[in-house]
Amino acid sequence: MKTNTFSEIGRDFGGLLVLATIALTAGILINQFRADPIPLVYASKTARLEKAVASVQNAKPAETEIAPETAGPSEVRDIDLGEFRDLLTKQNALVLDARPEIFHRLGHVPGALALPRDDFESYYQKHRTKLESYKNRTLLIYCQGSSCEDSHLVADALSHLGYLRLAVFTGGWNQWTQEHLPEEKQ
C-alpha cells in the first residue's frame, strides 16, 4: 500500500464533484417524472399534514361544517394496550392505522382503517363518510410503536378537523404483535 499524494486526492475530489453533479442532475430529472414528485425545498411532516388538513377543510361540503361550539382542536389522550382494548370492545371505537399504507396491507389491528400520515388527504377523502360519522365518537389511532410520531400527527390533524374524542395507542403495532393479538391482512 502506498500513500496517496495531495495532488491525487485533489484529482479524486474533482472526479467526485463531477459524479455528484451528474447524480444531482439525474436525481432532479427522475423526480420530475415521478407521479408524486417532491418539491425542491423540504417541508416538514407537520407542515405537509397541515397543508393536507387545509385541503380537506377546503373540500368540505357545506352541510358538514363544524359547529362553532365544537370548532378548535380537542385534546388527544395517550392510552396503553389495556385501555385500547377496553375502548375497542366497550365503546365500539373506530381504529385508525397511521402507518404507511404498505404496512397496513401487510397486517393491522382487525377492523382498523388505513389513514397513513404520509398520504393523509387521499385516505381521508376515501374514508370520509365513515370518519365523519365518528365526529363525536371515539377514534383510536396507532402507528408502529412508541418511537413513531405518525399517530400523534394524524390525531392532531383530526383534532383540527373537529374530531372530539381522540386517543393514541402509544404501544402501537409493535406491542399489539408482541402480545400475539389477532391480525387482519388486506
Partner 1 sequence: MKSILANRWLLFSLRIILGGIFAYAGAVKIQTPQTFADSIAAFQLLPPQLINLLAMALPPLEIVTGVMLILGWRKRLASFAVLVLCIVFLVALATALLRNIPVDCGCFGSSQPSHWSTMIGFGRDILLTFAAYLLYQQRPPAPLAADVVAE
* Binding positions for partner 1, rule: CB under 8 A: 1-2, 4, 9, 12-13, 15-16, 19-20, 22-24, 26-28, 30-31, 34, 36, 38-45, 100, 118, 144-145, 147-148
User: Using the 8-state DSSP alphabet, how is residue 106 labeled?
Assistant: H
Nearer to partner 1 by Cβ, of 26 and 181: the residue is 26
Rounded to a whole number of angstroms, the CA Rg of the chain reads: 22
Q: Taking the complex as a whole, how short is the minimal distance between the CB of residue 19 and partner 1, in angstroms?
A: 6
The answer to whether 166 and 141 are in contact (CB under 8 A) is yes
Nearer to partner 1 by Cβ, of 118 and 132: the residue is 118
Q: Taking the complex as a whole, how short is the minimal distance between the CB of residue 146 and partner 1, in angstroms?
A: 9
Nearer to partner 1 by Cβ, of 21 and 92: the residue is 21
- Nearest-angstrom CA–CA distance, 16 and 156: 44
Nearer to partner 1 by Cβ, of 6 and 42: the residue is 42
Q: Taking the complex as a whole, how short is the minimal distance between the CB of residue 70 and partner 1, in angstroms?
A: 32
- Nearest-angstrom CA–CA distance, 115 and 140: 11
Q: Taking the complex as a whole, how short is the minimal distance between the CB of residue 37 and partner 1, in angstroms?
A: 8
Q: Give the H or E element holding residue 78.
A: strand 76-79
| Residue 93 grid coordinates | 371505537
The answer to whether 93 and 137 are in contact (CB under 8 A) is yes
